[in-house]
């Protein structure tokens, strides 16, 4: 039985799985990240979790994992195996791949191959290859959550850019006079169209500080005019950002994931219309919902692990 250890580290929780060579999830587990303990404690928890998964696999299948894939948020140097920077986890230049390889490698002296990647890039990889994209040659994945991040899919891999920073569609400026973004500029796409942005706008419009984007979507579905106005602002901004990306990348499929995508056609139907209104010469991509849910990042980590094994020279 050949399996990989897969781990998706988020700001709130860490999702893990043992995954077969065909992408089958054999075992799933989740633990809180508890980032308030500081970056060193979080790194320790990642190593412990990965080691426990290794033990789980060894107990189940009698053989150690064939490889491991770990994906993290922020800026990742996949080639160097370093988690360079993550604002929400407070770490800088953590040599995560070397730490994991040291912790996970069997005691017989052999070395477990470990792949390190970016969480949204990995989620997009899984969606384009084995999820909503179904193996499509050119895709663009958008995760609409606290912020907005993207992944550019090309022939079964993710274009990460020269510095690992490709796909940051959330920081395309769509409303130059809009709210200040965490990156320092005004009116970035994620300040208007992320799940958090819609939550803020709907809370202000309806007067309930606890109201969120899911409440807004439900109000849209019941025909609430104030909700429709809030929703359309986000949809229009999203279409502006998306058409910029489509003009540059010409994707065949655009896959929409993240918390806001749970609204389904309440989001996708007006988004398709808004994109169509803006398209002139460009070819319109298929805009589809993500299919893998919150296991996408973990599956992407497993794909990175299997890809790494496929490129390693057998010894
Ligand atoms: Zn920004």
Q: What is the 190 CA–ligand 1 centroid distance (Å)?
A: 7
- Judged against a pLDDT cut of 50, whether residue 61 lies above it is answered with yes
What's the pLDDT tens digit per position in 179-238? 999 889 999 999 999 999 999 999 999 999 999 999 999 999 999 999 999 999 999 999
Q: How far is the centre of ligand 1, averaged over its atoms, from the C-alpha of 180 (Å)? A: 8
Q: Cα(229)–Cα(121) distance, rounded to whole angstroms?
A: 32
Strands 138-144 and 114-118: unpaired
Residue 32 clears pLDDT 60, i.e. is over it: yes
Any bridge partners for residue 79, and if so which?
none
Span from the CA of 203 to the centroid of ligand 1 (angstroms): 22
Cβ contact 167:151 at 8 Å: yes
Which residues, at least 6 apart from 99, have a Cβ–Cβ distance to it below 8 Å? 43, 47
Gap from CA of 270 to ligand 1 centroid (Å)? 24
CA of residue 145 to ligand 1 center, whole Å: 14
With left for phi above 0 and alpha for psi between -120 and 50, is residue 25 left, alpha or beta?
beta
pTM above 0.85, yes or no: yes
Residue 125 CA, ligand 1 centroid: distance in Å: 23
Tokens standing for 135? 């193996």
Contact 307, 6 (CB under 8 A): no
How much is the mean pLDDT over the chain? 95
| Distance between CA atoms of residues 26 and 24, nearest Å | 6
> How many angstroms separate the alpha carbon of residue 199 from the centre of ligand 1?
18
> Which strands sit side by side in the sheet containing 25-32, from one edge to the other?
25-32, 13-20, 3-9, 67-72, 114-118
Determine the average pLDDT of the residues in 52-62. 96
108-121 per-position pLDDT tens digit: 888 899 999 999 99
Confidence of residue 165 (pLDDT cuts 50, 70, 90): confident
151 vs 135: CA distance, rounded Å: 15
Q: What would the mean pLDDT of 295-310 be, rounded to a whole number?
A: 96
Mean pLDDT for the stretch of residues 111-134: 96
**Ligand 1 centre and the CA of 174: distance in Å?**
10
Ligand 1 centroid distance, CA of 147 (Å): 9
Under the banding of pLDDT at 50, 70 and 90, the label for residue 90 is confident
pLDDT at site 314: 55
pLDDT of residue 307: 95
Per residue, what are the HEC states of the chain? Answer: CCEEEEEEECCCEEEEEEEECCCCEEEEEEEECCHHHCHHHHHHHHHHHHHHHHHHHHHHHCCCCCEEEEEECCEEECCCCEEEEECCCCEEEECHHHHHHHHHCCCCCCCCCEEEEEHHHHHHHHHHHHCCCCCCCEEEEEEECCCEEEEEEECCEEECCCCCCCCCHHHCECCCCCCECCCCCECEHHHHHCHHHHHHHHHHHHCCCCCCHHHHHHHHHCCCHHHHHHHHHHHHHHHHHHHHHHHHHCCCEEEEECHHHHHCHHHHHHHHHHHHHHCCCCCCCEEEECCCHHHHHHHHHHHHHHHHHHHCCCC
> How far, in Å, is the centroid of ligand 1 from the Cα of 38?
25
Q: Distance, CA 188 to ligand 1 centroid (Å)?
A: 5
Q: Which residue has tokens 């508890």?
A: 34
Token look-up 């850019």 returns: 161
- The percent of residues in the chain predicted with pLDDT above 90, rounded, is 89
Q: Tell me, what's the pLDDT at 315?
A: 46
Instruction: Assess whether pLDDT exceeds 90 at residue 105.
Output: no
**Least confidently predicted of 38-47, 72-81, 103-112, 238-247:** 103-112
Q: What is the model's pLDDT at position 175?
A: 98
Q: How far is CA 153 from CA 26, 169, 250, in A?
A: 26, 14, 11
Q: How far is the CA of 146 from the centre of ligand 1 (A)?
A: 12
């Amino acid at each position: 039985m050949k399996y990989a250890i897969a781990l998706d580290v988020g700001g709130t929780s860490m999702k893990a799985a043992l995954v077969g060579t065909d992408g089958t999830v054999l075992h799933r587990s989740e633990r809180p990240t508890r980032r308030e303990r500081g970056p060193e404690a979080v790194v320790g928890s990642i190593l412990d979790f990965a080691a426990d998964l290794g033990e789980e696999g060894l107990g189940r299948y009698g053989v150690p994992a064939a490889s491991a894939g770990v994906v993290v948020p922020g800026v990742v140097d996949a080639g160097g195996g370093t988690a360079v920077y993550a604002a929400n986890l407070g770490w800088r230049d953590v040599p995560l791949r070397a730490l994991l390889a040291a912790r996970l490698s069997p005691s017989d002296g052999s070395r477990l191959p470990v792949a390190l990647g970016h969480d949204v890039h990995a989620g997009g990889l899984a969606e384009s290859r084995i999820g909503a994209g179904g193996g499509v040659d050119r895709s663009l994945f958008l995760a609409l959550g606290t912020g907005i991040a993207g992944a550019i899919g090309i022939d079964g891999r993710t274009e990460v850019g020269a510095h690992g920073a490709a796909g940051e569609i959330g920081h395309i400026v769509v409303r130059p006079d809009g709210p200040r973004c965490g990156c320092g500029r005004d009116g970035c796409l994620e300040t208007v169209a992320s799940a958090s942005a819609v939550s803020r706008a709907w809370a202000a419009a309806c007067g309930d500080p606890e109201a969120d984007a899911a409440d807004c979507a439900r109000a849209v579905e019941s025909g609430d005019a104030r909700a429709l106005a809030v929703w359309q602002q986000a949809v229009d901004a999203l279409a502006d950002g998306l058409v910029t990306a489509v003009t540059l990348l010409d994707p065949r499929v655009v896959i929409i994931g993240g918390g806001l995508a749970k609204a389904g056609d309440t989001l996708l139907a007006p988004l398709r219309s808004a994109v169509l209104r803006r398209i002139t010469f460009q070819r319109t991509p298929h805009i589809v919902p993500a299919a893998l849910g919150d296991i996408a990042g973990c599956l992407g980590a497993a794909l990175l692990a299997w890809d790494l094994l496929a490129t390693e020279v057998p010894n």
